[in-house]
Each structure stands twice: as structure tokens, then as C-alpha cells.
């Protein structure tokens, strides 16, 4: 029994090992046969197109606003209330036809002008009365006999020169008075406290007495050796000492003399008193001359101020009088140009704009209506990038979108110019338009450019890529594998030679039957493995 049981256990163990082996082999077979399919689901999916031949039309498309060429603006120079409007937009009017009916009353501009004229006349009367001018001077101003600015400047410059000269005279006289006073002050202060000078004189006299004694001693010493022959050292030394004593006495004598003079100046001698008296008399004369010079200067300054005031008063009165004449002319002009009960069309043409409705007030000087003169055309402009503008030229054919709706409209490209609002980036295309169905302000869509040209290699615009090395495309290359083909993206550098809205013509290392990648579910680079979209499979 034990042997049978052990045999059963061994059999079950072998069965279990066999089952594991079968499962393992099954999984390996699945992974082997379906590994390519599993891996494909992790790859980026791409959409592709054949590189093919075809035609491209490099056209510019855009929408602009129709504008009238030289529209006639009907301008009313008075603020008047509109009673009713006689025409509608797009109505054709003949010259003289009524555009607006107006309320029968004077304009606000005429009423205001008359009020301003009355105020100007009052201001003029006040200026004349307050100016202090004679009637002959006022009459001269009214007759236009007004001094010019150059003449007034010349008078003021002459007055300034006179003032400058008189100021110089005052400065000179003032300097003389100041100098005389300084001399008086110096002499007057010299009589005060001469003790230091007296002490200096006494000391100088003592020094002189001592020097005289030394000279006597030196003279005696020399006399005692004078009988010695010349050149004897003793005699020579005595002679040197005698000469030194003599020089010292001469110097001390001069110091005593100088000290005595200083003391006399400080003690107030009769000569100093007389000098001060003479200077005081001189100062009186100089002060009188200074006072007269100051009066002359003040008078000159006052004369200039009066002259300037007179000039300004006359200028103000002349300006006030001119204001009156201007206001009178304005009143006369408004009265002559006063609009009657209507505003009429000054030219024949189509009414393209009416600025007012019944009950509104016309703003003076602004267009009340716009008339497109019969026979005049229309224009339109488009702003496009410089690159697009370089693909067209004046005279290229222009096509209208929805041409069936504008069957009577023609458009011509007349000019290509810089866009001042975006210089260096955009160009303005000018179009000349004709057609009875055109209306200023409507939008018009056009396309312009060269006619279709055939090219050997054309790809969708979405296939064109660009990096620092230039423009390129990615094509799909097929590589054989044991369990199916693999697809790899490869870079091909290209040059774009023409484009339109959807596709581009290119040059590069291509044969013309390659698959080019247009889109991908993930970013891809050259050399990456990809999977094709279901459509391609």
C-alpha cells in the first residue's frame, strides 16, 4: 500500500511539472509571434501622404472695406436743428436737391458771434478809458498808425543804454565817496592811543645812546693802534669794530627818526587835522554829485517804465480794436452765409451717408451728408506680410469671392506700398474698384496672385518642419523583420520653392513616390520607429 501511494505522489508531481512547462512554452510562443504587434501599440502613430506632382497657385486672400474715391462732404457752417430728412442713403440726387429741412431760426454761431462782438466793443471802451491816451492817439491806433515791434524795441534799448550809463556814473561817484570816507577814517583813528609809539621812540633813543657809547669806545681803541702799519692784525681788527659801531649808530639813528614820525602821526598833529577838514569838504561835494546822479538814474528808470506802459497800453488797445473788426467780419460772414430753411446738394451723385435725423442739431463744420459724385470710383486696401506681398505685382489678376454676387464689380491691383502702422513687416495692397453694386463701407473678399504652376514634388504644408539646420520633411522607410515590417522616420532636407494655403512645392533628395509624414500622435525625430495609421495599414 505504501509503495502504491508513493507511486501516485510521484505521478502527480511529474504531471504538475509537465503542465508548468506547457504553460511556459505557450507564453513564449505568444510573445514570439505577437511581440511585433504589442510593440506597435506603444509607438507613435503617424499619418502619411505620397509625395506627388501637381500644381500650386500662390495667391493672397483677404477681406477689405470699400471706400469711395474723393467723396463730397456736405458741410454746414451753422448749428441748426433739423426739421426733417428729405433723402435716404443710396438715393441719387441732382445738384440743388433738398437733403435736409431746417427749423426757421438763426444759428447758434451767429447769435454767439453777435454776443462776442458786443463784449469786444465793451472791452475796447474800457481799455481806452483806463489807458490814459489822448483822442488823437486813439484815432491814430484806429487808423492803423501803430508803432511796430522793432521800433518799440529800439526805444526800450535806448532807454536801457541810458540807464546803464547813469548807473555807471552813480557807481563812480559812490566809489569816490567811499574812498574819501576811508581816508578820513584812517586819519581820525591815527590820533587814538599813541602809547605804543611813544614807548617805541623812547626805546629807540636808549638804543641810540648805547650805540653812541659803543662807537666812542671803538674810536678810542682804534686811535690807540692807528700808528701801527696797515695790514697789522690788531689795527685791522680795531678798524673793523669801528666800522661796525658806525653802521650800528646810523641804523639806530634811522629807527629813532621813524619812531618819532610814527608818534607824530598818532598824536594828531595840526597837519592831520587840516587833512581831515579838507577831506570832509571834498566828501560834501562828492555826496552832492552822487545824489544828483541817483536822481537822474531814478528819472531814467521811471521814464522807461512809463514808456513800456505806454507801449503795452497801445498794444492792448490795438489788439482790442482788431478783435472788434474780426468779430464784425465774422458776423457779416455768418449773415451772408446764413443757411435758409433747407440744406441742398451742391453736386450730383449718390448719397452714401447721412449724419443726422429729424430733431438733431447739426454740428458746425462737420459733414452733414456724403455724396459719391457720379463717375467717381472706389478703392480698397489690404495689409499683408512682406513675404506674401513679394509674390504679387501690380497688374496681377484679382478674383472676387462670391463673384456671382458681384457680377458687375471689377478689381485691379494699382499699388504696393509700405504699411506705416507696421513698417518693415507688412505691405499695403491698393485696389481700384468699379461697379454699380458697390457701396462705401461694405466688405469685399478678394484673392490675388500668380496662376497655377506645375511642380514635380508637392507635399502638404503640415509635412514641412524646420529647425536650426533649415527646413526638412520626415519620410517613412520600411525595414524587413522576421515577424513583419518595421517603419522608421527618416529626415530629408528640402527647399520650399512655392506654397499656397494647403500645400508646398519642394526640392530635395526625393524620387517622388515616398511616404511623407504629415501628423503624428507623439513628437518624433529622425530614426524613430513609428506605426502607420489604420488607413495606411
pLDDT at residue 214 in the model: 87
∠ CA 23-25-30, rounded to 5°: 95
Buried residues in 236-252 as b, exposed as e (16+ CB within 10 A): eebbebbeebeebbeeb
pLDDT at residue 34 in the model: 52
pLDDT of 415 higher than 60 = yes
Identify the residue with better confidence: 366 or 533: 366
Among all chains, which residue has been given the C-alpha cell 514570439?
Answer: 32
d(CA 348, CA 367): 16
Report the SS3 class of residue 125.
Answer: helix
pLDDT at residue 537 in the model: 44
pLDDT at residue 536 in the model: 47
Q: Tell me which fold the domain 59-103+344-449 belongs to.
A: OB fold (Dihydrolipoamide Acetyltransferase, E2P) (2.40.50)
The pLDDT of 232-239, averaged and rounded, is 84
Residues paired with 454 in a beta bridge: 55
Q: What is the mean pLDDT of the chain?
A: 81
d(CA 122, CA 521): 88
pLDDT at residue 63 in the model: 86
d(CA 439, CA 65): 10
d(CA 185, CA 180): 9
Contacts of 244 (CB under 8 A, 6+ apart): 218
For 80, which DSSP code?
A: -
Q: Tell me which fold the domain 45-56+453-532 belongs to.
A: 2.40.420
d(CA 471, CA 465): 6
Buried residues in 120-153 as b, exposed as e (16+ CB within 10 A): bbeebeebbeebebeeebbebbbeeebbeeeebe
d(CA 40, CA 481): 13
The dihedrals phi and psi of 390, each to the nearest 5 degrees, come to: -70, -15
Lowest mean pLDDT segment, chosen from 101-110, 113-122, 300-309, 434-443: 101-110
d(CA 202, CA 422): 104
Residues paired with 506 in a beta bridge: 496
- The predicted model scores a pTM of 0.35
Lowest mean pLDDT segment, chosen from 207-211, 329-333, 526-530: 329-333
Amino acid at each position: 500500500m505504501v509503495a502504491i501511494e508513493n507511486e501516485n505522489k510521484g505521478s502527480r508531481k511529474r504531471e504538475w511539472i509537465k503542465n508548468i512547462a506547457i504553460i511556459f512554452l505557450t507564453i513564449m510562443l505568444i510573445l514570439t509571434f505577437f511581440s511585433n504587434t504589442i510593440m506597435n501599440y506603444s509607438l507613435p502613430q503617424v499619418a502619411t501622404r505620397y509625395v506627388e506632382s501637381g500644381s500650386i497657385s500662390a495667391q493672397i486672400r483677404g477681406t477689405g472695406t470699400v471706400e469711395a474715391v474723393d467723396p463730397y462732404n456736405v458741410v454746414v457752417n451753422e448749428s441748426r436743428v433739423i426739421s426733417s430728412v428729405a433723402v435716404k442713403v443710396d438715393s441719387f440726387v441732382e445738384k440743388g436737391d433738398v437733403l435736409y429741412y431746417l427749423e426757421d431760426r438763426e444759428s447758434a454761431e451767429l447769435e454767439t458771434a453777435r454776443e462776442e462782438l458786443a463784449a469786444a466793443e465793451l472791452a475796447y471802451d474800457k481799455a481806452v478809458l483806463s489807458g490814459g491816451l489822448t483822442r488823437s492817439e486813439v484815432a491814430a491806433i484806429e487808423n492803423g498808425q501803430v508803432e511796430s515791434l522793432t521800433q518799440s524795441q529800439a526805444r526800450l534799448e535806448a532807454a536801457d543804454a541810458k540807464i546803464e550809463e547813469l548807473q555807471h556814473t552813480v557807481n563812480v561817484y559812490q566809489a569816490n565817496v567811499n574812498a574819501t570816507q576811508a581816508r578820513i577814517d584812517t586819519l581820525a583813528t591815527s590820533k587814538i592811543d599813541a602809547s605804543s609809539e611813544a614807548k617805541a621812540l623812547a626805546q629807540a633813543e636808549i638804543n641810540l645812546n648805547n650805540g653812541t657809547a659803543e662807537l666812542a669806545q671803538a674810536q678810542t681803541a682804534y686811535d690807540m693802534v692807528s700808528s701801527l702799519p696797515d695790514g697789522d692784525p690788531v689795527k685791522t681788527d680795531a678798524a673793523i669794530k669801528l666800522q661796525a659801531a658806525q653802521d650800528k649808530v646810523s641804523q639806530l639813528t634811522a629807527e629813532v627818526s621813524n619812531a618819532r614820525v610814527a608818534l607824530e602821526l598818532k598824536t594828531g598833529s595840526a597837519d592831520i587835522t587840516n587833512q581831515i577838514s579838507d577831506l570832509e569838504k571834498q566828501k560834501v561835494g562828492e555826496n552832492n554829485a552822487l545824489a544828483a546822479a541817483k536822481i537822474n538814474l531814478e528819472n531814467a528808470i521811471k521814464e522807461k517804465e512809463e514808456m513800456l506802459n505806454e507801449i503795452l497800453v497801445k498794444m492792448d488797445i490795438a489788439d482790442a480794436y482788431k478783435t472788434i473788426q474780426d468779430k464784425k467780419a465774422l458776423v457779416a460772414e455768418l449773415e451772408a452765409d446764413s443757411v435758409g430753411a433747407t440744406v441742398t446738394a451742391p453736386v450730383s451723385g449718390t448719397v452714401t451717408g447721412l449724419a443726422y435725423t429729424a430733431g438733431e442739431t447739426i454740428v458746425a463744420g462737420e459733414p452733414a451728408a456724403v455724396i459719391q459724385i457720379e463717375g467717381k470710383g472706389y478703392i480698397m486696401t489690404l495689409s499683408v506680410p512682406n513675404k506674401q506681398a513679394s509674390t504679387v505685382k501690380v497688374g496681377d489678376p484679382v478674383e472676387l469671392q462670391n463673384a456671382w454676387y458681384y457680377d458687375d464689380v471689377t478689381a485691379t491691383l494699382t499699388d504696393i506700398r509700405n504699411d506705416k502702422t507696421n513698417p518693415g513687416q507688412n505691405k499695403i495692397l491698393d485696389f481700384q474698384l468699379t461697379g454699380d453694386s458697390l457701396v462705401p463701407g461694405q466688405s469685399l473678399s478678394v484673392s490675388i496672385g500668380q496662376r497655377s504652376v506645375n511642380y514635380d514634388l508637392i507635399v502638404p504644408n503640415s509635412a514641412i518642419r524646420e529647425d536650426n539646420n533649415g527646413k526638412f520633411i520626415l519620410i517613412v522607410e520600411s525595414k524587413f523583420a522576421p515577424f513583419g515590417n518595421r517603419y522608421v522616420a527618416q529626415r530629408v532636407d528640402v527647399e520650399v520653392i512655392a506654397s499656397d494655403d494647403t500645400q508646398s512645392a519642394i526640392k530635395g533628395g526625393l524620387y517622388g513616390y515616398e511616404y511623407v509624414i504629415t501628423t503624428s500622435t507623439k513628437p518624433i525625430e529622425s530614426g524613430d520607429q513609428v506605426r502607420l495609421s489604420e488607413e495606411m495599414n
